[in-house]
Homo-oligomer: A and B are copies of this chain.
Amino acid sequence: MKNFEFYSPTRVIFGKDILSQLGTSIKQYGQKVLLVYGKQSIKTTGLYETVTALCRDAGITLLEYSGVEPNPKLPHAEAGAKMAAEANIEVILAVGGGSVIDEAKAIAAGACYKGSLWDLYSQKASIKQALPVIAIQTLPATSSETNQVSVLTNPETLEKFGARSPHIVPRTAFLDPSLTFSIPLQYTAYASFDIMSHLLEGYFTSTDPFAPVQDGFVEGMVKAVMKSFKKVQSNPQDWDGRASIMWAGALAWNGLCNAGVEGAVIPNHMLEHPLSALYDVAHGAGLAILFPLWLRYKKEAIMPRILQFGRNILEMGDEIKGLSDSVACDTVINRFDEFIRSMGCPSSITEAGIENPDIPELVRQARTLCGLWGIDGYTDADLETIYRMAL
């Protein structure tokens, strides 16, 4: 195990009817609040009405900033930060999924930063200060509600970069599984696969000779998400299934599972970010397309981890017994691929509706991310091959 720092100070309030605590939670940090959300969905579900009424009853002054897109965009975040600074906002309240919370964090940091917001994402400057963020999660996937990370896309350069700072960790996260009942199955699948991908990328790339605590977390959570998704697929209002996906979504990417693990990197996110930056494909769909291909491409280098995955997560121990390692790995990858398809995720870039993608540009952006995220071992030819496999 290598040295690490783990810090996830979010107060998680989880369960039914928890929003009654919203007003008190917000007022610990301030009275003047910017409500950040996406488009129509929180109005359709009634959540907008609930939240604004709770804030009004608590005597909170509420300004609104809506229109956050999936893969949130730099100019929109910049305008939000300007608005927050000018209105002397004290608290940012994010109501939505990972994109909304990511942009809320950007607004919180941007409101306290004099330069260009993109400085904080392109690693020209670090976040030194931010307004407190409170999050109501509606689409669990990226642990944005409990982590230090915010990802923005710069539409001018078509780059999708992340910023990281303890200052932007949400102070409180409200997780009510019933708010996720209405997520269409397709998006539940993408979000669930995003959770699985966050967990498994570090697991497959780990070179740690012995990290059973972290391996156990990943194995347990991936199995939990797979089982829970199947429950939700049968009944979209299954409380326990929705609750387990939501709790896994809050923990999969908050630093817990890869704390101290040697070698762990996130190659599938490195491959996917350019795809959703250039084409606005759903992030989870992109991950689902690329993951099995990445496994096939890297198979020789990570056979022991693929076998461990097959035995401990897919529970294929009996089935792969006696096979050569190489054939066993193929069997495991095929089963994983089948599971992903059974979730309803696309299996190719074409199936995701993208025709003739600009492969040199995908490669260029993936190359940049390799550098930013410290991922070694990919030549441009490797990257191009994987993207071509995905067509």
A contacts, CB < 8 Å to B: 1-18, 177, 209-213, 215-217, 219-221, 223-224, 227-228, 231, 239-241, 243-244, 247-248, 251, 259-260
A12 to B255, CA, bound (A): 11
* Residue with the highest number of chain B CB atoms closer than 10 Å, among A10, A224, A228, A248: A224
> Nearest B residue to A220 by beta-carbon distance?
B216
A247 to B18, CA, bound (A): 31
User: Judging by beta carbons under 8 Å apart, are A259 and B1 in contact?
Assistant: no
User: Judging by beta carbons under 8 Å apart, are B215 and A220 in contact?
Assistant: yes
User: Judging by beta carbons under 8 Å apart, are B18 and A12 in contact?
Assistant: no
A240 to B231, CA, bound (A): 37
Supposing A6-B14, A15-B2 touch, asked if A213 and B219 sit within 8 A by C-beta, the answer is no
User: Judging by beta carbons under 8 Å apart, are A220 and B223 in contact?
Assistant: no
Chain B proximity of A98: nearest CB distance (Å): 18
User: Judging by beta carbons under 8 Å apart, are B247 and A227 in contact?
Assistant: no
* Residue among B6, B14, B259 making CB contact with A260, cutoff 8 Å: B14
User: Judging by beta carbons under 8 Å apart, are A244 and B213 in contact?
Assistant: yes
Copies in the complex: 2
User: Judging by beta carbons under 8 Å apart, are B241 and A210 in contact?
Assistant: yes
A223 to B215, CA, bound (A): 10
> Nearest B residue to A169 by beta-carbon distance?
B9
Q: Which residues of B contact A15 (CB under 8 A)?
A: 1-4, 260
Supposing A220-B220, A259-B14 touch, asked if A1 and B240 sit within 8 A by C-beta, the answer is yes
Q: Which residues of B contact A177 (CB under 8 A)?
A: 1
Q: Which residues of B contact A1 (CB under 8 A)?
A: 14-15, 177, 239-240, 243-244, 247
A215 to B177, CA, bound (A): 19
Q: Which residues of B contact A209 (CB under 8 A)?
A: 240
> Nearest B residue to A13 by beta-carbon distance?
B5
Q: Which residues of B contact A227 (CB under 8 A)?
A: 212
Chain B proximity of A121: nearest CB distance (Å): 24
Chain B proximity of A221: nearest CB distance (Å): 6
Q: Which residues of B contact A5 (CB under 8 A)?
A: 11-14
> Nearest B residue to A246 by beta-carbon distance?
B1
Please name the 3 residue pairs, one residue from A and one from B, whose CB atoms are nearest each other, closest first. A216-B220, A3-B15, A9-B9
A92 to B1, CA, bound (A): 29
Q: Which residues of B contact A210 (CB under 8 A)?
A: 228, 231, 240-241, 244
Q: Which residues of B contact A240 (CB under 8 A)?
A: 1, 209-211
> Nearest B residue to A249 by beta-carbon distance?
B213
> Nearest B residue to A251 by beta-carbon distance?
B213
Q: List 18 A-B contacts (CB under 8 A).
A: A1-B14, A1-B15, A3-B15, A6-B12, A7-B10, A8-B8, A8-B9, A9-B11, A14-B259, A15-B260, A210-B228, A210-B241, A211-B244, A212-B228, A216-B217, A216-B223, A216-B224, A243-B260
A280 to B7, CA, bound (A): 35
Chain B proximity of A16: nearest CB distance (Å): 6
